[in-house]
Structure 1
């Protein structure tokens, strides 16, 4: 991650010396569960409280949801009597007894209580979500279309207000950081919640820039607060996984500010259209009905983008595998009256004539499952159930057994069972689904076979872990009642696999691309993207800026890697000779992408990159990729890493020779301001035992160094991001 300048961020509170997060409960990889505020037991529905969380099997809990209020502050309606977060109790429920030492009750009291007993588990409130990205629910449960993230990110002043409130919020309730669930800062037209289209569409050209500013500001303010409090505050984000949404999110330039990303690799298919596919496919099979109908396979060399493996490789192009978590659905989505397909999978389910399609579907929706097949339904503005086939896994397992369940009436369901439900699992996509041949109903979600496959995938690929939406969908079996209910079977399965594997991948570069230990102060910016719906080909102007003290000469080469989510035919419109010199994957992605990176190289043009100057290369590619990685500048046969990659342990240097010495040095130092490059070092020699405060000047290793902040025992030059700024050779 990018370090916050001038702040001694206490990373070691959370990370070990290899840059890996220290995980609890014997886990080698994360198990992150979303815990929702609304499973309170109201209307006699099954209850899921903090006392029901399997605290000994997980690593993180995300509380869903906080929101952006009308004053641009983070809120859970804490001032409203009876709110679930801070003013609710559950008398007589074992394990739900409040901690009397806290001045609030509700979910936050129980989360604090159980966190104290399980101090390794981190708890973060998630802000936003589908319903509260562009507005919020007030104390009466009414939605206020205030603009939420869309309008709060319009100015730095409003972002600062929000970020300051996040710091206060985290401190007040003892959280470990914040999770941002902004759905979605994309420039695609009509993306996200249809209730917010009138707000989001008018701003779509500025949304991603505002998102970057938000995440940068949160990172900086959380780092400052962490340094003051002596603990590290995490910043995480829920990310889309669809290539369509990501096309409108530039190259996802927020990865440098986040501890990790939680990929929402679910809701990949649903009744918003007629194409019947899996809720959370892990791999493509070359037959995704939606992609086939849209001509995607023909346009992009057979690569399909509605699957977890494609999404993981998108982010892998920009960050370590261990900072990527695969999302899994503990719920189903489904269709009725499915035609064609294999036991319905891959078929179509057109809505019948006169069917009221939900907003945002342009009256071309699919025929979502309803009644007994739609237990966890959302409601339209009139309070009617929206047919979507949404059920907890424990309910669909009861349907498989022909059991109605004693809870259905509490959800307002009066239907009787018709037909029988047969479970299926596809060995290629890892889709798991239930098919009722009589009603032609398909319900797709993750149970034991899909979760086992995804846990193995995480273990085998070095990913950081699994993220669950939502914990209350997990199941156990009550033999006395003869039915499945809320339990922890799937989390137990995750823990079994992810506590007996290896530590996650902690380096961006793979072993076949060893990165130099010396780095030049070179930065990269991505500019002038077309709006997502017009972003064909993807052709930004990419600016390479030399912050060093000496020119990078013409004829030097710059090579970098980018994700295999693109077919690997990057070129340029600038005449720099940009060429793909190695492909990590070729052909379709049936069963998964083979490698992580394509490697690209171009030659620095006439005039070079002057010290303090830039060149712009207008690159072009076809499918979405995240930021470039593992950048190497080669000058006179010598390879250098770059500060752009924030390399751990690299030493920032200037090129040898007699070139310009007027560079600003950027984040790696002050570049040439400390001496003439040939005389004796006149500043006092650095001493390991001495205490230095910000602004102190010393000499060490033939260079002059200026302290950025208080330091003792930190060797100048040991880290590009340490307390010492390199002022150049004496």
Structure 2
């Protein structure tokens, strides 16, 4: 991930459906994997009738960790969870800082991103802003903690002890080394040890792994057919290191991951087995549509008239069959996706042919072509400059259209509906990508109130 650039995460679905998301984005078509007894070829088939039949996979046999018993401590996070991703590049053009966060609206913050080296060492992603930039002492705390995001999070946690802050490792731009590191027991152990040392050094509460993506890769991302087994071993090694660090520090550390919305990821991460090491997962239920398609579409649709479409509901349905719903956070997007030169005004431009938006300049909250911060859409598009606002009841998503440019996004109403959906399905909570898209905290307040967070009362 490059500083100052928003790169939302990618989702992929096998052969028929393409979609995109991060706890970061991808333009590479999903490659259909080798034949496996456990292959999920189509998420729709799985939702309708097919169970995943899991067969034992061959584990690496040269690593003593294979036969070692590693368990996670009893989780102290019983939910509901409201988790924010806060990015290191938010302090560049967006001019946001940790002091702009209202911890009363949150339970967790994932700071994105730390990087990992070819040798597996977890390192600071942006030394200038993560360690050196003077953000002042508005949060209070020690004077030395005025420097960098790391220092600011220390100040935040001292003032709001309920908040859990995790470091997210990888993301769309920094996932290249995961496959090699996970495949090598020595590098894997180095990753685990350095991750534990990282959070102990900076006073954080856990590790979030955003590997995009095991088995199928991303844009020029190294990947292997046995990434699934290696991913499980990486998580096991990391859990072991966190347990040992926690014993030394007298703390219990969290281990979480970002998960693609497609059911295929359950296999690509050996997720059913891997859950024994994880506290919860962040399910990236967004970027179902985007500029890789030449048709407008709701990228965070709750439902779709096409029963084979990838939606929030289809993703939650398949995941909930194999993962305890309480261990799942539903992903919400604080940004919209747009197209221009819409070919037909029928249905107010919904599901009509269109072109991707090339070039930036559509608004103050636009940091990537065709991507618009949620606050920017509300402030500068809805009911302004010829844009008319609409709401799709099936998708439970608002959109604006001026006859040429179409933008689908989420607002207070749709965020409330989707948060209520998460609670109705017994999920552990929600997370959102990312804080900068809701700089006025409007959507975060809706989430906190809907979840009934005590801190939001």
Q: TM-score range by the shorter chain?
A: 0.7 to 0.9
1:110 aligned onto 2:186: no
Q: For 2:83, what is the secondary structure of its paired residue?
A: strand
Q: For 1:315, what is the secondary structure of its paired residue?
A: helix
Counterparts of residues 366-405 of structure 1 (less than 5 Å): 366-367=356-357, 370-372=360-362, 375-378=365-368, 387=369, 389-401=370-382
Kept in 1, the 8 Å contact 2:386–2:402? The answer is yes
Counterparts of residues 437-456 of structure 1 (less than 5 Å): 437=403, 440-456=404-420
Q: Which residue of 1 aligns with 2:395?
A: 429
Q: Which residue of 1 aligns with 2:233?
A: 213
Kept in 2, the 8 Å contact 1:65–1:126? The answer is yes
Change (3 A) 1:10 1:101: farther
Counterparts of residues 552-563 of structure 1 (less than 5 Å): none
Query: 1:173-198: CA deviations, max 9, x gaps?
Result: 111110001111133xxx52x2x25x
Consecutive unaligned residues of structure 1, counting only runs of 5 or more, are 16-20, 23-27, 135-147, 287-301, 351-365, 379-386, 404-418, 475-485, 502-730
Q: Which residue of 1 aligns with 2:34?
A: none
Query: Cα distance, 1:377 vs. partner?
Result: 3.0
TM-score, normalised via structure 2 length: 0.78
Q: Which moved more, 1:446-455 or 1:250-259?
A: 250-259
Q: Give me the whole-angstrom Cα distance separating, in 1, the residues matched to 2:125 and 2:160.
A: 27
Q: Which residue of 1 aligns with 2:20?
A: none
Kept in 2, the 8 Å contact 1:35–1:63? The answer is yes
Q: For 2:422, what is the secondary structure of its paired residue?
A: helix
Q: Give me the whole-angstrom Cα distance separating, in 2, the residues matched to 1:225 and 1:179.
A: 16
Q: Which residue of 2 aligns with 1:271?
A: 291
Q: For 1:71, what is the secondary structure of its paired residue?
A: coil
TM-score, normalised via structure 1 length: 0.50
Query: Cα distance, 1:68 vs. partner?
Result: 0.6
Q: Which has the higher helix share?
A: 2
Q: Which residue of 1 aligns with 2:441?
A: 488
Consecutive unaligned residues of structure 2, counting only runs of 5 or more, are 1-66
Q: Which residue of 2 aligns with 1:129?
A: 171
Kept in 2, the 8 Å contact 1:186–1:246? The answer is no
Q: Which residue of 1 aligns with 2:315?
A: 311
Q: For 2:115, what is the secondary structure of its paired residue?
A: strand
Q: Which residue of 2 aligns with 1:548?
A: none
Q: Give me the whole-angstrom Cα distance separating, in 1, the residues matched to 2:359 and 2:427.
A: 34
Larger Rg: 1
1:60 aligned onto 2:128: no
Counterparts of residues 91-106 of structure 1 (less than 5 Å): 95=138, 99-102=142-145, 105-106=147-148
- Cα RMSD (Å) of the superposition? 2.6
Q: For 1:235, what is the secondary structure of its paired residue?
A: strand
1:51 aligned onto 2:99: yes
Kept in 1, the 8 Å contact 2:83–2:110? The answer is yes
Q: Give me the whole-angstrom Cα distance separating, in 1, the residues matched to 2:303 and 2:148.
A: 40
Query: 1:31-84: CA deviations, max 9, x gaps?
Result: 0000111121x4xx4421111111111000000110112432111157x5xx11
Q: Give me the whole-angstrom Cα distance separating, in 1, the residues matched to 2:188 and 2:123.
A: 15
Q: Which has the higher strand share?
A: 1
Counterparts of residues 43-442 of structure 1 (less than 5 Å): 45-77=93-125, 80=127, 83-90=128-135, 95=138, 99-102=142-145, 105-134=147-176, 148-187=177-216, 191-192=217-218, 194=219, 196-197=220-221, 200=222, 203-243=223-263, 253-286=273-306, 302-304=307-309, 306-340=310-344, 342-350=347-355, 366-367=356-357, 370-372=360-362, 375-378=365-368, 387=369, 389-401=370-382, 419-437=385-403, 440-442=404-406
Change (3 A) 1:7 1:249: closer
Change (3 A) 1:284 1:433: same
Counterparts of residues 651-666 of structure 1 (less than 5 Å): none
Change (3 A) 1:445 1:253: farther
Kept in 2, the 8 Å contact 1:98–1:109? The answer is no
Q: Give me the whole-angstrom Cα distance separating, in 2, the residues matched to 1:333 and 1:236.
A: 27
Query: Cα distance, 1:244 vs. partner?
Result: 6.2
